[in-house]
Amino acid sequence: MTRPVLVLNGPNLGRLGSREPDVYGSTSYAGLVEQCRKTGAELGFDVEVRETNDEAELIGWLHEAADGSIPVVLNPGAFTHYSYGLRDAAAQRTAPLIEVHISNPYAREVFRHTSVIAAVASGTIAGFGLTSYDLALQALAAIPPA
């Protein structure tokens, strides 16, 4: 039996492949979705991947995960640095939540050095390109279900 996992992506991640390929790589968003589903299936997860540029929608998805005790891999994108609403929604989690970033925020602009999400996440994985998602799913697989 597979366990559900939500992979949630914030603003501009739907533009992978065309958005700053020197920072985010050349794989498209569709490629990321395929990668997450494949890795998840290998780990016994039923992975659903979502992306939005809308902060309220992302908050709603975190509420859905909390209500269903569904583990989350979250790339909040730019919301990482300032969205207290997203942080408060993530704090309501009832299952593990792994924050991911494709690039290493600490190797970039100073404003990217702060994450308001990190303190309420189970952990953070950053700087390994799209492999950050695989590592997050592996981390979820290592945590026993509640």
Q: Which residues are catalytic?
A: 24, 101
What's the sign of the alpha-carbon dihedral 13, 15, 16, 21?
A: negative
Report the C-alpha gap between 96 and 138 in whole angstroms.
12
Residue 83 marked as a ligand binder: no
Residue 104 labelled as part of a binding site: no
**What span, in angstroms and rounded, lies between the C-alpha atoms of 86 and 105?**
18
* 22 marked among binding-site residues: no
C-beta of residue 88 within 8 angstroms of C-beta of residue 119: no
Q: 28: annotated binding-site residue?
A: no
Distance in angstroms (rounded) separating the CA atoms of residues 111 and 109: 6
Q: Is 108 annotated as a binding residue?
A: no
What are the binding residues?
75, 81, 88, 102-103, 112
What are the binding residues for substrate?
75, 81, 88, 102-103, 112
